[in-house]
Amino acid sequence: MADRPVVGSTAGRLPGTQNGESELAVGDFCVIAALPFTTPWMLLWGTAAVIPVLLHLWNKRQHETTEWAAMEFLLAALRKSARRRRFEQLLLLLVRAAVLLLFALALADPLLALIPGFVGTVRSGATHTVLVLDGSYSMGTVADDASRFARARQAAAMLVQQGQQGDGFTLVVMGEPPQVLVERPAFDPEDVLSALEQAEIRHAGADLIRTLDEVIRVVRTSRRDFPRLLQTRVCFYSDLARNSWSAIESRAGRERTDILAEMAELVLFDVGSDPVANVGVTNLRANKSLAQVGRMQRFLATIHNYGRHDREEMTVELWVNDRPVAEQRTRVAAGADANVGFQHIPQASGETRVEVRVDNDSLAIDNRRYLSLPVRETIHVLCVNGSQDAAHHLSLALNPNPTEDQQLVTTVIPDGALLELDLTPFEAVLLCNVARLLPDEVAVLERFVTAGGGVVFFLGNHVRGEGYHDVMGPRAEHPPFFPARIETVVAGEDLRLDPRDYRHPVVVPFRGFERAGLVTTPIWKYWRLAPYEPSACQVALWIDNDPVLLEHSFGAGHVLVVATAPTSAQLEREDSWSALAMWPSFPPLVHEILNQVTRGRDRQRNVTVGEPLVDLLEPGSPANGISVSGPNARAERVRSTAVEQARIWTFSDTQQCGFYVASAGDDDRESLFAVNIDPAESDPERLDPDLLPSNFSREQGLVDVQQPVTATPIGRPSMFRWILAAVLVLLIAESLLAARMDRGAL
């Protein structure tokens, strides 16, 4: 059939028809053979059309010849009208056979749209269309009272309406990760339109490479399982945000588009426009991870102007527990950041919702930033004393008036008593000149840090480096708990601490305050440390090229090491290591160290969209007793898993930004989590369409979103109702013919 000449008009093609594609027409072959059917196997019922013929032939043989003189006259009359009678019977036979044949044809549901005499020559319903909607949150940009995503969804729905009966549609949403909503070709427009209505914007960017991989998989599966779908096209609906589409210029992007272009036609429906003005909150942080009732807490919000013009007098609000508590006005220059600080004194303990809001603009999703901040009545710190009075200076630096100030309580225990305590109430554990740790003690500390706690090692003359390496160094498939190998003691008379431009958070408060004493602190001895993984360690203080204050992450928490001892009481003693404990910079340094190592719990409560929520299960709670509710207010049950001697629960459905609350059964205690967007997608810069591979053809995707979308097909009328109507007419005609023949009136 492909070699036959095309007969018919040169009517317009559907979007996506390429030159050289075969078109069906009638004129030189049977109409039925040219028609595709929705349910072709129903044509088997057409064999029932032979039943009237068989009955006719059977009845024709059911008479006996009897010689009767009285009938001779009648036979002579019948012979005269034989031609008319045979015509009447043949006509009735044809009507009855046509009824059965047309009924079977109606069940097969042929396409009227392929008959040129009715609607012109168009492409047959043998096309697989992959609809790819950009689900990144930049598609939420609103213009003319409609978002880009709404326009994309409407344009895709219109394409479904314009398809031919028999065309198949699949649906993929670009995201991180991509989501396949319709994996196998759907042939009912209602199903496709319903899936389009369910598609939603993700509060994240879009992984173009992974999306192309999914599209390639869907196309290959369709070509294998639905060979009658001879043509394939992939239609992308996107705003071409550079953050998502820059990957198209990479080698991986080019390779995948080349693979797709060999199997399908690639069409881009551009639903974006020129870059719009946008201002977003890109960061919100508290100056202290340990907030306390009645003590000043400072917050710093970062506002970025992505537009080309300065924003004057922009309103920035601080909300605490869903109530506005402070407001500032600031100027944000074009393409620049503006830092806005707030102060707030918490009045009650518990989980606290902190939020910063800015004026609404075309992209609303990045106008808010969320922070989960646990507020405590009392902060508990555990000090492990490795030698006589080794922990005394630390305890005194943390709380100089323990009898009057009960907001920070230190508990001092001797070396060897660590296994006797439950570490759950403590925020941090400080080990002071501890000679070595037992494997069981290390296991306890590892679980504590994995859950978000902090551990600080102050090294001194009692420390045995090899013992630390044996129990806390790297092991097979296990990262080191202690960040560095302890090598040798370095001694000198004029050793000074070097903060290296004050980049580390522990020493940032000392920038510009050299007289505070940090850089003038006398150091006489320290342990030389060799980090196991230098790239994983952050160094705050150096002596020459040796790190003396470094930290690394372990699980959700932090481990920090100070390579010298702050325990010298007399400077003239030969075994003195430093004068840290006697210098004015020591108390603020210890508080900054404590604030840094306890940020693990804060970071665990504040994540980015797509990152899981993870927390320890409280002792005594049922394994499946955790319920998590998010911004959509829908609660989901979460099961916990056993990890060594603890149970951890994980919640992965964090595709929307906002606050999430985890509760355990009838327990009144709740854990608050904040999920924020990655601000990279807030940048409205678009990819230049000219940089798209030549495989793409480009269409405008701007449509009227007020236009209703229904499943009524456009340009593809079905013959089903017409054939049924013909069957009804033939049934009536058959009854009339039979009645009139019985009366001999025909």
For position 68, what pLDDT does the model report? Answer: 66
Amino acid at 92: L
Amino acid at 106: A
Averaged pLDDT for residues 120-131: 71
- Which helix (H) or strand (E) is 385 found in, with range? strand 379-385
Tell me the β-bridge partners of 474: none
Task: Put the strands of the sheet holding 350-358 in their side by side order.
Answer: 291-292, 368-376, 350-358, 311-320, 323-332
Q: Which CATH class is domain 279-375?
A: mainly beta
For position 440, what pLDDT does the model report? Answer: 93
DSSP string for residues in 429-458: EEEES-----HHHHHHHHHHHHTT-EEEEE
Question: Residues in the chain, how many?
Answer: 746
pLDDT tens for each residue of 580-599: 888 889 999 999 999 999 88
CATH number assigned to the domain covering 127-275+692-700:
3.40.50.410
Let me know: does 234 contact 268? Beta carbons within 8 Å.
no
Q: Does pLDDT of 355 surpass 50?
A: yes
Q: Does pLDDT of 616 surpass 50?
A: yes
Residue 671 main-chain phi, psi, to 5 deg: -115, 130
Amino acid at 511: R
pLDDT tens for each residue of 159-217: 999 988 889 999 999 999 999 999 999 999 999 999 999 999 999 999 999 999 999 99
For position 26, what pLDDT does the model report? Answer: 34
Which stretches of 565-657 are assigned E, i.e. beta strand?
606-608, 613-616, 626-629, 635-638, 640-643, 646-651
pLDDT tens for each residue of 433-491: 999 999 999 999 998 998 889 999 999 989 999 999 999 999 877 889 999 999 999 99
Let me know: does 601 contact 453? Beta carbons within 8 Å.
yes
Let me know: does 416 contact 520? Beta carbons within 8 Å.
no
Q: Does pLDDT of 537 surpass 80?
A: yes
The tokens of 61 are what? 């043989």
Let me know: does 265 contact 16? Beta carbons within 8 Å.
yes
**What are the residue boundaries of the structural domains of the chain, listed by start?**
39-109+720-743, 127-275+692-700, 279-375, 386-602, 609-676
pLDDT tens for each residue of 455-469: 999 999 899 999 999
Amino acid at 396: L
Cα(722)–Cα(726) distance, rounded to whole angstroms?
Answer: 6
The tokens of 238 are what? 């996107």
- Of 89-103, 115-129, 134-148, 687-701, the range with the lowest mean pLDDT is 115-129
Averaged pLDDT for residues 317-325: 97
Tokens 């829908």 locate to 634
Cα-atom radius of gyration of the chain, to the nearest Å? 40
Averaged pLDDT for residues 507-525: 87
Which stretches of 333-367 are assigned E, i.e. beta strand?
337-344, 350-358
Let me know: does 578 contact 461? Beta carbons within 8 Å.
no
Q: Does pLDDT of 718 surpass 90?
A: no
CATH number assigned to the domain covering 609-676:
2.60.40.10
The CB-side HSE value for 577 (13 A sphere, CA atoms) comes to 21
**Nearest of 435, 430, 439 to residue 383 by alpha carbon:** 430
The CB-side HSE value for 147 (13 A sphere, CA atoms) comes to 17
**Nearest of 628, 671, 667 to residue 651 by alpha carbon:** 628
- Confirm whether 386-602 and 609-676 share one CATH topology: no
Q: What angle do CA 110, 116, 119 make, to 5 degrees?
A: 80
Let me know: does 405 contact 399? Beta carbons within 8 Å.
yes
Cα(517)–Cα(496) distance, rounded to whole angstroms?
Answer: 11
Given the DSSP bridges, would you call strands 279-286 and 350-358 parallel, antiparallel or unpaired?
unpaired
**Nearest of 143, 151, 145 to residue 269 by alpha carbon:** 151
Cα(56)–Cα(52) distance, rounded to whole angstroms?
Answer: 6
pLDDT above 90: percentage of residues in the chain: 51
Banded model confidence at residue 227, pLDDT cuts 50, 70, 90: very high
Q: Does pLDDT of 320 surpass 90?
A: yes
**Nearest of 35, 672, 693 to residue 353 by alpha carbon:** 672
Residue 316 main-chain phi, psi, to 5 deg: -125, 125
Q: Does pLDDT of 54 surpass 90?
A: no
CATH topology of domain 386-602: Rossmann fold (3.40.50)
Q: Chain-centre distance of CA 101, in angstroms?
A: 53
Averaged pLDDT for residues 108-136: 66
